[in-house]
Structure 1
Amino acid sequence: MNCSSRLLAGLYVATSAGLSWTAVLEYRYGPMWAACLFAAAGVVPVIGVVRESVIGDQRRALAEWAGRAAATSGPEPDAAEDIVRAELDGACCERWWTSLGSDHDRSCPHRVPRSSAA
């Protein structure tokens, strides 16, 4: 984790602690629904800490991968374009993307004809 990720994780932990303390106070002196609400909200920043650690792990893995690629054969300038092109080629057609999976282009191999039967 870099410095900004550590700072952000610290803010997440502080926010979670504050919300947890508020949940305890609401449990003792306030309505139960508010205590449950603050307890659930206290868990959400923990997800942010996990997310930051996963992003840090992915950055380290990418740096190691790039270092190995540079050491073996040199960096390939079009590697990112090749990855994006492979992902887009593996996807379906343009109409499927824009219609949230309900329609297909005429040339799409996954086109399923619609029937009038319900």
Structure 2
Amino acid sequence: MTRFARILCAIYGATTIFLAWATVQSGTANSVWTALLFAAASIVPIIAWLRETEFSESKAATRANVERATRVRESAERRAIREAADALQHVCCERWWTSLGTDHAPTCAKQRRAA
């Protein structure tokens, strides 16, 4: 959870405590409707606190998924580079490469000697 989210949760908690205190004060003053309104209003910051914690958890899960996808992509790129390097190891000379494997350079060790 970020620092800002923690501050918001602290504000939500303080608001809930204040509204609970106002509920008790209204109840002792025999103002039933006001006490019910304060009690209902004290639930709102609790819901906000729950949503904030859920949001931070989903954000952390999304961050983990992005990191995992990045690692998979990097490993796929490494595998592609390794496969390309393996394919290029079988190349023997430039003429062989440009002639699509039909002819070798005169200095190539793999050139077939006509007998």
TM-score, normalised to structure 2's length? 0.63
> Deviation above 3 Å: which 4+ runs of structure 1?
none
Report what 2:46 is aligned to. Answer: 46
Aligned counterparts of 2:9 and 2:66: Cα–Cα separation in 1? 27
In structure 2, stretches of 5+ residues that fail to align are 75-115
| Partners of 1:30 and 1:22 in 2: CA distance | 12
User: How far off its partner does 1:73 sit?
Assistant: 1.2
Residue in 2 that maps onto 1:71: 71
2:16 aligned with 1:2, yes or no?
Answer: no
Shift of 1:14: 0.1
Aligned to 1:102: none
Point out where structure 1 has 5 or more consecutive residues left out of the alignment.
75-118
Equivalenced residue count is: 74
Please give the root-mean-square deviation of Cα atoms over the aligned residues, in Å: 0.8
Deviations 1:48-86 (A, max 9, x none): 100100110111000100000000014xxxxxxxxxxxx
